[in-house]
Structure 1
Amino acid sequence: MTAGATHDQGGQERADIRGTVRGTAPAPLSILDLATVGAGVTPGEALAATTELARTAERLGYHRFWVAEHHGMPGVASSTPAVLIAHLAAQTSTLRLGSGGVMLPNHAPLAIAEQFGLLEALHPGRIDLGLGRAPGTDPATARALRRGSLEDGEEFPRQLAELTHFLDGDFPDGHPYARLTAVPHNAHRPPIWLLGSSGFSARLAGQLGLPFAFAHHFSAANTVPALELYRSSFRPSEVLSEPYSLIGVSAVAVPEGGVEAARFLARSAALGMMRVRQGRPSPIPTPEEAAAYPYNPAEAEFVEGWLANVVLGEPTQVADGLEELRKRTGADELMVTSHFHGLEHRLLSYELIARAYGLLG
């Protein structure tokens, strides 16, 4: 069995998780999109922009396109990944689509098994199920989602096992759910990925032999330790014979003006994240608003720290930065995210990155 190959319950080989490296790129390159709602933009316009971005990603040769579950954030429209994935899959034909991720503790495992079983039935071989254990929101919204029951992270392995049994239809005899079936039930299930920003999911993904996606874009200090933990914990499974890791990376490419021109755009995302951390989330501000904002010393330090983990510059600078990061971390795949204001600039950035990284040859 080759590294990255996936198998169903009966052991038949499925499509390779790694996929085909496009053009002359050294590794697969993918996109994480949050359906960014910028200042002056409606949610409908933001979702239309995400749709256009998915079609563009397919044309440019990106390997997969994931959307994330967030709640209570005016700057993010992707609150329900399964619904958005269904729409994007209908607008594309070859691009892999998935969740980066579904926050499993917010949902009944049976509901997720049915949602992604339906997506797999509609678009076989194109769906990824990425799972996280964080709420993806503030505590009050999490309580509303979970109807007052805030289970801690230790419940996540049990929820994951239940979801996997529903997808595979293989609860053991005597289990309370042994007679239940997640409908539709497919011969092949979508690949399950574990997402994380610390060591918990890294170790669990390794122990279960699952692919692992790490949120380098907001937890850069933990990237190398988490990936080393994943690899050291890894046990071969029916899903993977060797570890397979992906890291999310914030990146902004501009046609000219170098790092400073890219920082001007990226600062809008940094200000948006600063407001989230301060408990006052808002639509993503314009670059002009971010440049004019009166930062106090603590705020300026936060923004500079955030920008330090963004790969910035003209196309070759960004491509070189991505490749340096891939080699330093040993990640098998990079997933670029650009959560700044302005669809036109984001589309251009992704195209410049694709060409410079070699996706188009």
Structure 2
Amino acid sequence: MSIYNNDIKLSILDIGTKLQGNDANQTLKDSTERIQLADELGYTRYWFAEHHNTPNQVSTSSELMIAHAAAYTKHIRVGAGGIMMPNHSPLKVVENFSLLEAMHPGRIDLGIGRATGTDNVTAYALRQSKEAVFSYDFPKQFDELLSFFNRDFPSDHLYHGIIPIPNNGNYRLMPAIYMLGSSTGGVRFAISEGLGFAFASHLAPHLATQVLRGYRNNFKPSKYFTEPKGIFTTILITADTDEEAQYLAGPAELFWARLQTGDIHSPFPTLEEASNHVYSSAESTVRIQNKDRFIIGGIKTVGQKLRHVAKETMVDEIMIMEYYADKEASQKGYRLLAEEFNLKGTNE
């Protein structure tokens, strides 16, 4: 498959945003409906993020979200985008994802992040160790994670005799493993071990092309992946027209402007609130600076942009971060994208 034609795969990243007027129950119900729609339309994968101590997000446990979503779908891959390793024991991650793979063979992805994804106090509450919070031991955690999956600790290693979960005959209960990144750090681990790699362009849009091209050009086949598997992740809002898409993007733009000017507690804006909001000078400056974090436009505009992005970054898959303030608009956007990129859904 060429990365320069229309054969672009589409996927979704769900961060569990709680919209105004919704409680946690409704937020999770909407996520379930969204992944079922994505499954029906032919999207490749659906990932859940891990966030802690965030007033607007309910996705605190990717593993539980995955188990629930996979049980309600049939074909789409389901995974973590990602498991933030500093918050976890490598053994427990392997146990959890081996079980998920046993429950849903060939459909589970494990995306690995190097950061905590939260503040230091919450990180301490998660790990119960100040030393762990302020030290960087990801390389050790990463090595242990892969060794637990592969059952290849040296014979004299303390963990050599630990069996995370009995192997299923000749089939290793291992998900597809991806490194996550928004800098030049995470990609080194993906290259060194031959893993998949997902770049969060909404966090560092200026690095996306450089890092994803570097990943593809330096990738070496491994037991995990025989060829490079890069994913470009972005915040995308689309509709029938450019004007409608810009209106629908208002809440996401306002949310990010507030976030970067110090307002981390305001709820996710409604469409009406965003439309009527008068930006402060600081917010206006940030809004302009943030323009590359988003891909916004009518479906034809967005289609052209995504094909250009795929060519520039040398990927064949784009993951859309769910940031709609209206459920119906979100569902319509995913339908428009599926039609534009001729996704092969289960209803065809």
**TM-score, length of structure 2 as denominator length:** 0.91
Partner of 1:51: 32
Equivalent residue for 1:119, pick from 62, 77, 100: 100
Match of 2:251 among 268, 271, 281: 268
Q: Which residue of 2 aligns with 1:82?
A: 63
Q: Deviations over 1:163-200 (max 9, x none)?
A: 11112222110101111111254432111100000001
Partner of 1:110, secondary structure, is helix
Identify the residue that residue 199 of structure 1 maps to in structure 2.
184
The equivalent of 1:280 in structure 2 is 264
Q: What residue number does 2:232 align with? A: 247
Report if aligned partners of 1:103, 1:134 keep a CA contact under 8 Å in 2.
yes
Q: Determine helix, strand or coil for the equivalent of 2:13.
A: strand
Distance 1:185 1:273, change over 3 A: farther
- Following the alignment from structure 2 to structure 1, what is the Cα–Cα distance between the partners of residues 257 and 121? 20
Q: 1:168 aligns with which of 147, 150, 154?
A: 150
Distance across 1 between alignment mates of 2:127 and 2:228: 33
Q: Which residues in structure 2 correspond to 1:305-316 (within 5 Å)?
A: 305-316=289-300
Alignment partner of 2:253: what SS? helix
CA–CA distance in structure 2, aligned partners of residues 51 and 153 of structure 1: 37
Q: Could you tell me whether the CA contact under 8 Å between 2:258 and 2:283 is conserved in 1?
A: no
Question: Is 1:236 aligned with 2:221?
Answer: yes
- Structure 1 regions of 5+ residues with no counterpart? 4-17, 19-23
Mapping for residues 88-107 of structure 1, pairs under 5 Å? 88-107=69-88
2:20 matches 1:36: no
Partner of 1:66: 47
Q: Distance in 2 between matches of 1:25 and 1:357?
A: 7
Q: Any idea what SS the aligned residue of 1:97 has?
A: strand
Q: Which amino acid aligns with 1:56?
A: L
- Per-residue displacement from partner, 1:275-319 (whole Å, max 9, x unpaired)? 334252343110211222232222112123324432222212111
Mapped partners of 1:184, 1:279: distance in 2: 48
Structure 2: state its 5+ residue gaps: none
Q: CA separation in 1, counterparts of 2:292 and 2:138?
A: 32
Distance (Å, rounded) in 2 between the aligned partners of 1:208 and 1:225? 20
Q: Helix, strand or coil for the counterpart of 2:279?
A: coil
1:245 deviation in Å?
Answer: 0.6
Deviation at 1:262, TM superposition (A): 1.1
**Matches of 2:235 and 2:258, distance apart in 1:** 18
Give the Å deviation of 1:230.
2.1
* Paired AA for residue 150 in structure 2: D
Shift of 1:234: 2.5
1:319 counterpart (290, 297, 303): 303
The corresponding residue for 1:8 is none
One-letter amino acid matched to 1:337? M
What amino acid is the match of 2:153? F
Match of 1:183 among 133, 143, 165: 165
RMSD: 2.1
The number of aligned residues is: 338
**Which residue number corresponds to residue 298 of structure 1?**
282
After TM superposition, the score normalised by the length of structure 1 is 0.88
User: CA offset at residue 26 of structure 1?
Assistant: 1.4
Aligned to 1:199, what secondary structure does the other structure show?
coil
**How many angstroms apart in 2 are the aligned matches of 1:65 and 1:205?**
20
Contact 1:117 1:185 in 2 (8 A): no
Structure 1 pair 58–243 and aligned structure 2 pair: CA distance change class (3 A): same
